[in-house]
Structure 1
Amino acid sequence: MGNERLRAAMAAGGWTYASLAAKAEVDPKSVERWVNLGRTPRRETAMRAAEVIGEDVFALWPALRQARAARAVSPELVALYDQRADLPISAFVDLFAQARERIDVLVYAAVFLHEAYPRLNDLLRERAAEGCTIRIAIGDADSPNVEQRGQEERFGHGIQSRCRIALMHYRPLAGTPGIELRTHETTLYNSIYRADDQMLVNAHVWGVNAYGAPVWHLRRRDGGIFDRYAESFDAVWKTATPAQGGR
């Protein structure tokens, strides 16, 4: 069975097997098999091809959306992703949308959330209106730890700028009952996205941008890994400073 979505996208953009193959750095016969036989390319190749065409990689190859199944190492481990880039934005949106009691976010910037889902603030307001307590901790752009992370990732002052952009994105939530925004100066070992008893943990790797680092999806069991990360969030939150104009 062929890949009709890919065929249509190539036709709309005027791509031939040969021209797309050149950009994706593969043989034209490989592209032909993607289209006519429905073959799924390697993840890195698929992402490169999708970017060239201007389409969502998961729309072109839905099989890539599936997480690499985690073996039964821990009953709390739902799934393991090779890198954050493998998660569709819907994974984060659905996580927050399902929350009924609590949403916690600990990041330096994570501006990809607002960039990929402009309704994020509306979603957070809706959850707060339904009774969720929402805590968002973003990096203090003037923190030496943020500056150090930029150097380690060869990102220069870019990460500091992104912290300021993140603050700009979240600032309209200031004063919303149930939502609190703070900035923190801690070393960020992991980015944490929690909704009730589920959590996505983006484990950072020295010298690697967060999108290229692995993510594990946890579901809480008393006294386990989930609680350890939740306690870590609480510890950072206590040291964080209410954002200017925030609650």
Structure 2
Amino acid sequence: MNERLHSVLAQRGVPPESLAEVCEVDPKTVGRWLGGRVPHPRHRFRVAQHLRVEETFLWPTPQPAVGNPGAKLDTELVGTYPNRASVPRDTWLSLLQGARQEIALLVFSGTFFAQSNPRVAKMLAERAAAGVRVRLCFGDSAGQAVATRGREEGIGGDTLAAKIRASLTYYRPLLSETACEVRLHDTTLYTSLFRYDDTLLANPHVWGQPASANPVLHLKRVDAAGWFDNYAQSFEAVWAGARPWTPGQEGTAAHGQD
């Protein structure tokens, strides 16, 4: 069973019949690929191109018994996006709805996360009620890191602080949910992180540019020595030093777009 191919088809919302049409093969052939058969090279290329993933993620090259310990890292990379705005909305929704154990968010303001999906708080609450641990970590609007980031982006610390306060208003209902936590961090944020179980979207920050203009790496955990765990551990470090959010201590919200 090729579970990676199954997973990517589900995330992209592509039925096997549609993939068969793109590759100009019989749907039964796609069924055999899903069952574990490795396609011909030309079909592997077409599938990877259509699903916007690395071919080696769907069909990893067998690892040698002795070799470079870092050789497995490439298999974690499901795909890349030139900027955060190019990540399909359906991808965000399917990852959120499909989480079964953990959802973790690390951003400064993350305004887009709620403004692009007004039901995000309700959906997170539903996941929490189903047993999913939800942890949301935003920038501390009164912290030095937010002030510095605002100056670097050329929008000023006050503007970024206002965007954070605006974003937080969406998540007030989650504070009453046992499995949900919202914290504020005051740390240099090199990468915004969006984790859903063993899938993670990493949005690296480029100096002077808003996060929305920067690339996104779509990662799938393979083992404990890869990119996924490095990013996951950085989230845990920031989370450990963050303080719980207490509504009413953030001033007046002024809406903005991140």
Does TM, scored on the shorter chain, surpass 0.5?
A: yes
Structure 1 residue 144: deviation in Å?
A: 0.9
Q: What secondary structure, in the 3-state scheme, does the structure 1 residue paired with 2:219 have?
A: strand
CA offsets, 1:34-84, max 9 Å, x none?
xxxxxxxxxxxxxxxxxxxxxxxxxxxxxxxx7754475710000011111
Q: Tell me the TM-score normalized by structure 1.
A: 0.70
Q: Does 1:204 align with 2:199?
A: no
- Give distance in 1, aligned partners of 2:148 and 2:88: 29
- Give distance in 1, aligned partners of 2:147 and 2:95: 30
Aligned position for 2:235: 233
Aligned position for 1:52: none
Partner letter of residue 212 of structure 1? A
Q: What secondary structure, in the 3-state scheme, does the structure 2 residue paired with 1:211 have?
A: helix
CA offsets, 1:104-157, max 9 Å, x none?
000011111111110001100110011000100000001111111111111223
Do the aligned residues in 2 keep the contact of 1:79 with 1:217 (CA within 8 Å)?
yes
Structure 1 residue 183: deviation in Å?
A: 0.5
Q: What secondary structure, in the 3-state scheme, does the structure 2 residue paired with 1:131 have?
A: coil
Do the aligned residues in 2 keep the contact of 1:104 with 1:135 (CA within 8 Å)?
yes
Q: What secondary structure, in the 3-state scheme, does the structure 2 residue paired with 1:75 have?
A: helix
Aligned position for 2:139: 139
Aligned position for 1:122: 122
Aligned position for 2:92: 92
- Give distance in 1, aligned partners of 2:160 and 2:55: 34
Partner letter of residue 145 of structure 2? N
Q: What secondary structure, in the 3-state scheme, does the structure 2 residue paired with 1:231 have?
A: helix
Partner letter of residue 223 of structure 2? D
Q: What secondary structure, in the 3-state scheme, does the structure 2 residue paired with 1:103 have?
A: strand
Query: What do you get for the CA RMSD once the two structures are aligned?
Result: 1.9
- Identity, in percent, stands at 41
Partner letter of residue 184 of structure 1? H
Structure 1 stretches of at least 4 aligned residues deviating more than 6 Å after TM superposition: none
Q: 1:99 to 1:69 in 2, by over 3 A?
A: closer
Aligned position for 1:16: none
Structure 1 residue 92: deviation in Å?
A: 1.4
Structure 1 residue 89: deviation in Å?
A: 2.2
Partner letter of residue 229 of structure 2? D
Q: 1:179 to 1:149 in 2, by over 3 A?
A: same
- Give distance in 1, aligned partners of 2:55 and 2:164: 36
Q: Does 1:222 align with 2:223?
A: yes
Structure 1 residue 236: deviation in Å?
A: 0.4
Number of aligned residue pairs: 182
- Give distance in 1, aligned partners of 2:163 and 2:247: 19
- Give distance in 2, aligned partners of 1:68 and 1:99: 21
Aligned position for 2:149: 149
Do the aligned residues in 2 keep the contact of 1:84 with 1:211 (CA within 8 Å)?
yes
Aligned position for 1:244: 246
Do the aligned residues in 2 keep the contact of 1:141 with 1:163 (CA within 8 Å)?
yes
Aligned position for 2:75: 75
Q: What secondary structure, in the 3-state scheme, does the structure 2 residue paired with 1:202 have?
A: strand
Do the aligned residues in 2 keep the contact of 1:67 with 1:81 (CA within 8 Å)?
no
Structure 1: unaligned runs, 5 residues or longer: 1-65
Do the aligned residues in 2 keep the contact of 1:174 with 1:245 (CA within 8 Å)?
no
Q: What secondary structure, in the 3-state scheme, does the structure 1 residue paired with 2:183 have?
A: strand
Q: Tell me the TM-score normalized by structure 2.
A: 0.67
- Give distance in 1, aligned partners of 2:247 and 2:107: 19
Do the aligned residues in 2 keep the contact of 1:76 with 1:221 (CA within 8 Å)?
yes
